[in-house]
Structure formats: structure tokens, C-alpha cells
A and B are shown apart, each in its own frame.
Chain A
Amino acid sequence: MIILKMSRSAFHDGIGKLFGDYRVVAPSRINGTLDYTDIVDPAQIDLSDELPYKSPKEILFPRVETILRISDDGIDVPDTPKPTILIGVKPCDITAINVMDKVFSKENNKFSDPYYFRRRESLIVIGMGCVHKKPGCFCDELGIDMTFSDYSDAFISIDNDNNIVFLYILDEKYESLFSIFDAQVLESGSPEVSEINSRVNESTTKNLRIDADEKELFEEIPWELYSESCLECGICTYICPTCHCFEFRDVEDCGVTCRNRCWDSCMYPSFTLHASGHNPRATQRERFRQRVLHKYMYVPKNCSVIACTGCGRCIRACPGGLNILRAVQDILDRTIFSKVSKAEECV
């Protein structure tokens, strides 16, 4: 592995050279809030030890994306967007990209989503670790190492005392791209750089996965206890790095219909409402159940990953104080207890 050692200003200068060919997105502070933002000047980049307010999922899965334009002349697909470099992505958000890759791939339900993957294939992810755990974060409960993720193309480590940036190039194919940086090239193992390694304890990776009988979970878990203060605002799903449910909205103008793919939310009553008026998930109890089980049970069953990265955003943002971690831990306590009591009955 090649490691680039450079000053902060050399790092900024290098990023500045990418603007022509790439959309550059990095954490930046707007009115005090740190968020993944489109960067036009490298000085905007803020690589502090803080988790950006929203996840970067809209880079790959925009809030609104025109997928088709339908008119009498035919059907046309908007051009492939400019490739993106995403800088300073935290390990939880990198893990979320792994989840989205699986959900939108053929592996999940035989079809691959072409709009997701045309953005994904040209995305370069430069990660950066967390130094301190933030309030509400629980990535460690899911076996995610907050300091490093190898699911990125390159990884940044910063020596703040000396204003030095280390760039670890994890994917060899980007070595020539990153030669734009005016940097000292080091090999891994050289005394100047600290080893960057995943510190994940494999035995903890399945900690929060719910594995129980679906029918029993539906009936025996007190879902209303977890969801009673829910205001149905949907902020948890919008802010979540792995929520991926969507709706098509067609807008017609001058004979051309744009089919727009928009984010939707399982927290809304209209999400599953049939035209007939029948709603399979009629109350918030069922809708919160869907959100929890989709993340901790259905996606794990269908794609072998938990669709939660412990970023804690939904917990910090919820106006009703809902806490998905507490709900999941309670469910796990109850299902383990019921398994134990059933085993005892058998004896």
C-alpha cells in the first residue's frame, strides 16, 4: 500500500485540481452545522472529529432524481452525472455504502438498480476515522470500527499537531489519480506512519441482529411502547444513511413527463396505502415495527448485512425521543428470554 504524506495546504491544492473532472463532496460547516456539502473551494473542507449531521447517501441516491423523460417522441434517460469524490467519510457512513450496494444489487431480489450503480461505479470514497465516540453513536455495538473502514478507496489520517495529512491509498487503481498531490510517498511499514488496521472484533459483528420467528415478533413484541411518542415526521428515515425506500412521481410539462424517483418513508401512513383504502400497516405501531425489522432482520436475511451502522442520527434527531437502539436491545432481551423459557418448557 502506498501512503502519501503531505502538508494540509498541499492536500487542499491537490483537491483543487480535481474540480474540473469531479464533483467534490466533503464535510463543511454551514451556519455552525457540519454536513457533507458540495465543495467549490478546498478551504471549505472541515475534517474535524465530528459526525456530519446528515449521511452522504444522497450522493448515490438523490432525494429527487429524474429517471425517465417520456414524450410522444420516445423515452429518454438523463445523462450519467459527473463522477464524484467523497472526502472525509466516517466509517459508519462507509459501512452504509456497503449496505446500499447490497440492497440495490442483483444479490437482493434478482434485479440491479441501474441508476444507483451508474453513480456508484464512478464514486471515489476517501474515508476518515473518528477519534471520539459521539453521544448517541453505537457503531461499536454493531462491530463497526469507528477509526477505520477498508470499504473505502483511500483513507485519511491527520496529524493535527504538525498539520500533516496522511493519505492511505487502499485501491491501487487510484494511485495515478492521487499523484496530483505534492506529497512524500511512503510504503506501509515505514516508521513514519502508524499502521492503519481494522480493529473489528469479529465476534461482535452479529450482536444486534434480530433472529426470531417473524410471526411471533409481530404478535409478542410491545411495538406500541417504542413508538407511542412518534410524530410520524419521518426525519429518522431522511437522515438515515441506509434508508432507501422510494416512490415515483410523474410531472408533466409541455408534453414531456418526467418520472422522478423521490425518497419515501415507511413512517408515513400513505407509504403502503392501497388505492382501495386498505392499509396493511395501518398504525404507527406497525410502521415502527417495519423500520426496526427491515434494518435488523429483513435486510440481514436477504442481503447478509445489518442495515444500521449505529451512526445515531435518528436518535439525536427524533422530536419524539424514539430510540431504535433501546428498542432493539429490548427485543433481543425478550426474544432470548422467550427462547430460554421455551427450552425450559421442553425440559
Chain B
Amino acid sequence: MFEAERNPNNYNASSVTTETKDLGCACLNPYIPIKTKILDIIQETTSDSQDVKTFILSPAKPISFEPGQFVELTVSGVGEAPFGFASSPIVEDTIQLCIKRTGYVTDNLHRLRPGDIVYLRGPYGNSFPIKEMEGHDIFYVAGGLGLAPLRPMIELIFLPENRQKYGNIKMLLAARSTKDFLFKYDYERWSNYPDTDLLLTIDNPEPEWDGLVGFPNNLVHDISFDIQNTYAVLCGPPVMIKALSDAFVKMGIPKNRIYTTLEMRMTCGIGKCGKCNIGHKYVCVDGPVFSMEELDNMPGEY
């Protein structure tokens, strides 16, 4: 039989490819982004030291996500970088990303205007275990831009149908100065929700400032809350996360009730490019949300 088939025309290349996939389809190609229009840009900070803007975006196809997840944003002709979602997950047609002008991609993004086009792909990563937190108090601590990735969870839990499932809510929001607070337009609404305390702190005293002064890890000792019944949710610079979680642990919050979300350089978002791992865990798929119990068993490579 084999002999009979000895004819060079008896084969063709397509018969050896098991499947010819159309990689133009986003369902088969996780690297394909969605065309997205910038609807509006909100200037958040007014200080000279940092420039943070919130970009209100309208993707051509809605992107549904869970609080804590992130998206890869492309500035055309420049490059791509990962950003945590910063808006309520129940609003699907528009997405907000709160972004500091820091590097090459963000610098070019900050030059864009409403009406300009960017590209998004995602969502990626895991999310905050909000179901597990039901029946408990929640203590949010955000340092600077760390408030952005917490905002989807904050907004979701404040929804009337969800609010009753949780106990008291404390929010300690830290900024370098009064000019560096983000989402200031939300604070009054947030603090008016039932059983909610919103505290603000800045690094150094300023005239006419009646809020707190100092780093969150030094302040949490003086804030009264039910240690036995609280989930702490933190985000900020790595130094703050480390010092603050130490403070909470010393106060007696179990490590499996302290959650944070990490930032890493991430090219692919799908666990292939090899940049974001901490030990054998990949922040882009196993994270970015981790409990302190998990982080404690991982090397401090962040």
C-alpha cells in the first residue's frame, strides 16, 4: 500500500496542518485588542509632582470585568501597558482608567484628546473575593494611585442590593498632598452611604487641612474598627503595602483577611512573556489580587 502511494503528488501541505485557525478573530487570539474611543478625560491631580488623569473610554464591544482585574491599553504607534479597571463593573458600555503620566506609553496617552482612538484587550487576572467578604466589615486603605484599582469594588459594594450584605465600611485614603487626591468628586457620595467612614490623610501638614497627616501604617492603630470581623483591602506603593500589612497583622487581623493588588511589568497578560512572576506565580493570571497569606508564602520579589 505504501509502495502504491509513492507519488510525489499524493500529498499536499494543507493536509499536514491539523487546523488552520483564523487568528483575526478575538475568540481565538487573545492578543487582538478592541478599538476604543476616548469619550472624556478628567484631570485628577493638580500638583506639580504628579499628573494623574481619568480616561473615560468607550470600547467598540463592551468589556465586562470583575473588581481587581486589569486591561492592556494600546496607544497607537507607541505601545501597550497594563492598567487596572477604575470604574464600576456594572457600567459596561464605558470604562474608566485612572492613569499617571509616568513612562513612554502613559506620556503619549496623556497627550491624547477626547475623540481619539486607543485599543483595549482584556480583562485579565483574578479579582477581589467579594463574595467571601460578605457579612464582614471592610477597611479600604489606598495610597495615591492605589485607589484606582479599588474603585470598582468600592462602587460594586455600595450598590443598594449589595450594601446590606456587608457591615461597616472604613476608607482611609492617602495622598502626598491635598492636590494629589483622586476621585474627589466621589468622596461626598461615598461618605453618605450608611455605616461608612471616609478618612483622608496627607504626608505633610498643610495650612487649613483638617484631615489626618502621616502614612497609613502609622495611622491605622488610632482608628477604631472591629478587628475580629474586618477584611482589609489595601493598594499603594510596595513599601506602603509591606508596612501596612505588618501593622494590620500586629493588630490581629488574620493574614487571609488582608488583600492587596500588585503591579508588575506585563507584556502579554496571559502568563507567557515571563516578566511578572513572583516565584512560580504569575501576577497576570494568579494575581494581581493576593491575600497576605499567599504573599507570605511567596518570595518578596515585588
Which A residues form the contact surface with B (CB < 8 A)? 2, 17, 21-22, 67-68, 70, 72, 74-77, 80, 82-83, 103-104, 108-111, 113-115, 117-118, 121-122, 124, 173-177, 179-180, 182, 185, 214-215, 217-218, 244-250, 252, 257, 259, 264, 266, 271-276, 278, 280-281, 286, 290, 293-294, 297-298, 301-302
Contact = CB atoms under 8 A, between A and B. Distances in A.
Interface of B: 2-3, 5-8, 10-13, 16-21, 23-24, 28-33, 35, 74, 76-81, 102-106, 117, 119, 238, 263-265, 267-268, 270-280, 282, 285, 297-302
A83 B11 CA distance: 13
Nearest to B296: A215
Closest 10 pairs (CB-CB, A-B): A109-B271, A275-B103, A252-B77, A245-B274, A111-B270, A21-B13, A298-B280, A122-B17, A214-B279, A275-B102
Nearest to A252: B77
Contact of B5 (A117, A179, A246, A298): A179
Given A21-B12, A250-B79, A250-B80, A176 B5 contact: yes
A275 B263 CA distance: 11
Given A21-B12, A179-B10, A214-B298, A247 B23 contact: no
Nearest to A116: B272
A84 to B, nearest CB: 10
Contacts of A68: 31-33
A197 B302 CA distance: 47
A180 B8 contact: yes
Nearest to B2: A185
A109 to B, nearest CB: 3
B17 A176 contact: no
B13 A82 contact: yes
Nearest to A278: B238
B239 to A, nearest CB: 9
A113 B272 contact: yes
Nearest to A113: B272
B279 A272 contact: no
B238 A245 contact: no
A2 B273 contact: no
B272 A298 contact: no
B182 to A, nearest CB: 16
Contacts of B119: 70, 75
Given A176-B10, A215-B299, A70 B74 contact: yes
B301 A286 contact: yes
User: Which of A75, A103, A180, A290 is packed against the most chain B CB atoms within 10 Å?
Assistant: A75
Contacts of B297: 214-215
Given A17-B8, A274-B263, A286-B301, A244 B23 contact: no
B108 to A, nearest CB: 11
B267 A215 contact: no
Contacts of B299: 214-215, 217-218
A298 B299 CA distance: 13
A124 B301 CA distance: 40
B16 A122 contact: yes
B293 to A, nearest CB: 14
A121 B275 contact: no
Given A21-B13, A115-B23, A118-B23, A275 B106 contact: yes
Nearest to A250: B79
User: Which of B272, B280, B285 is packed against the most chain A CB atoms within 10 Å?
Assistant: B272
10 contacts: A70-B119, A72-B117, A80-B21, A83-B13, A109-B272, A122-B16, A244-B272, A248-B80, A250-B74, A276-B103
A114 B23 contact: yes
A272 B2 CA distance: 54
Given A21-B12, A215-B299, A245 B273 contact: yes
Contacts of A280: 264, 278, 301-302
Given A75-B24, A109-B285, A122-B17, A272 B275 contact: yes
B13 A103 contact: no
A176 B11 contact: yes
A16 to B, nearest CB: 10
Nearest to A237: B274
Nearest to A215: B299
A248 B272 contact: no
A272 B285 CA distance: 17
A125 B238 CA distance: 47
